[in-house]
Structure 1
């Protein structure tokens, strides 16, 4: 299946293409282990998130839950679709073969999931921007129909835009990379298409996210300075804006920018980046699927409270004896009452747009971004 070379992984003079390919194959077990561990983290984290936001969470409106469910589904696709497909191809495909139909389908799935995640992050930033700066018009601006249309756009526009990748005999050439263990379009031979995708996906989403979150951060800092002035200069509460908005944008650009930069470099220069650099920049965006669980959910106090409640219910339902031994479910009646009170938040959902503004400008609690 693989070329037979009189070389070993420890050889120092590996300059020929065949020897370089052998070296990449020697590194494959380490890469598979890294990808598998990352996939498990993403899947477990997003399943926990899904269990919580599938039910009502105090302070989260119906629209917010729809957008966050969309984000969770897109992030889960990294661990449930992208990683298994590429690992399967890396184990089954003969690296001497040229492009095939399977690799085109896998590359199409990869690009679609990546693009859907970016569009979903952008729509979340847009929804929060409208909720905070236009609270009185939020209900008319973000109706249920418009919310679902935005989510549908995030999921349907990328496959339409990336459809040429799926055709084996089409204009887009696709290869399996032994360096990154991914089926990817050959950006060096499809420079125009690669630059077009970057301009239609990464840059618009990044500009929208940066503008919306920067406006929120500036407004929060300005209001916080006013509160500190009236409070005698004391800083009694943590800076929620910096604790949430800054990590969200930092994680986004850290995970996505190297991949986009490598894509543009390959398209313009016609040459590829070094092996491990390619591996890191290709798989780094998937780690954003795990970081989103932290910055969008676990920082939120209402989410953590609801997760503990659901975990206690599961413990009591599945392993009552072990739950009582561990002391995590000592009062079933109290849990039942808490569940009723926690789910009875229709008034909070109807007033979520106003509460979002109060949350940001008073900085009295978690910022639901």
Structure 2
């Protein structure tokens, strides 16, 4: 990296136009690196906390729900653990005058794959919630463990196959290092057809699935609340959980992903790039969705918060063993547990009820 020139008033007067532009680029790059680093730390810490909780069972969450949420957490964690470090590394090592290279192609492939996997994972979660709400009795038949794992495998394996041409340095897709967004991006202007095709294959199908599923669930929740009001249960009914969860989820999704897709389509059709800071915001906004997912899908869930406090207590006791004795002394004697009665016919019923409990809470039933 070249040292930053003197930016004092006397120094600016002695700089030529090219040197002044170079100094401004270096100053802007420092600010952008700081924003990306802070966002990466927030995403990593948030998803690590989520992994600590959902790696074990959570009350009211079915096995399939945990699988889908673990997949989402892994995809969001890839933003902070893979995408951001790779792009920061390239932006710090690569000079602006250098052209595309094999490393830039690999980084661009990783970026596109993680972005696409996150969108497909969000779509599969919406599909699972839709089945749990509208087909609760057939849930265990429609979404078996095998089908759940196949959906998750599709969300992780299909994007790398579709995006594989980006990884070849001398292939059909040109890749360049963007000084505005500090990422290695495919050249959408020279590959307009491929760029538009990727948008139609990835963004629009996932958006349609999410919008349709969440809109149907929201309408069902609204009808349920109207029925409860009709039968004089309004005072005892819960808050409008559907509007409090589904609306922020969809608003955050479109607010984070639409600018990126719009900028990509604009570059492909007009063969020109958007302004510098607008491109930076559009490219990095989808990573912010990885942090917002932690809030909307997990922290707004009471069972998750309760389990998170329990995990923190266990970690504190493991770190300070001398506190274990004091905690045991303060605990009240536990009531004798009821004898377990084996029932081989209740496994599928419990699976359905757990799935409905983790998703049908949006219906605000008593």
Q: For residues 248-302 of structure 1, give each alpha carbon's deviation from its aligned partner in whole angstroms, at most 9, with x where no partner exists.
A: 0000001000000000011111110111111111000000000000000000000
Mark the CA change 1:114 to 1:334 in structure 2 (over 3 Å): closer, same or farther: farther
Give distance in 1, aligned partners of 2:81 and 2:177: 20
Match of 1:359 in 2: 361
Match of 2:249 in 1: 248
Q: For residues 94-131 of structure 1, give each alpha carbon's deviation from its aligned partner in whole angstroms, at most 9, with x where no partner exists.
A: 22111100000000000000000000000000001001
Indicate the RMSD between aligned Cα atoms, in angstroms: 3.1
Give, in angstroms, the shift of residue 26 of structure 1. 2.0
Match of 1:193 in 2: 194
Give, in angstroms, the shift of residue 29 of structure 1. 1.0
Mark the CA change 1:302 to 1:4 in structure 2 (over 3 Å): closer, same or farther: closer
Tell me, which stretches of 5 or more residues in structure 2 are unaligned? 339-345
Give, in angstroms, the shift of residue 334 of structure 1. 5.0
Q: How does 1:223-262 map to 2 (within 5 A)?
A: 223-231=224-232, 233-234=234-235, 236-262=237-263
Match of 1:147 in 2: 148
Q: 2:105·2:169 contact (CA, 8 Å) conserved in 1? A: yes
* TM-score (ref. length: structure 1): 0.88
Q: 1:25·1:178 contact (CA, 8 Å) conserved in 2? A: no
Tell me, which stretches of 5 or more residues in structure 1 are unaligned? 365-369
Q: 1:123·1:150 contact (CA, 8 Å) conserved in 2? A: yes
Match of 2:108 in 1: 107
Count of equivalent residues = 355
Match of 2:327 in 1: 330
Q: 1:133·1:357 contact (CA, 8 Å) conserved in 2? A: no
Q: For residues 316-358 of structure 1, give each alpha carbon's deviation from its aligned partner in whole angstroms, at most 9, with x where no partner exists.
A: 011245x68xxxx8348859979x99xxx97754532454576
Match of 2:184 in 1: 183
Mark the CA change 1:52 to 1:336 in structure 2 (over 3 Å): closer, same or farther: farther
Give distance in 2, aligned partners of 1:232 and 1:152: 43
Give, in angstroms, the shift of residue 188 of structure 1. 1.2
Give, in angstroms, the shift of residue 8 of structure 1. 8.4
Mark the CA change 1:19 to 1:273 in structure 2 (over 3 Å): closer, same or farther: farther
Mark the CA change 1:17 to 1:168 in structure 2 (over 3 Å): closer, same or farther: farther
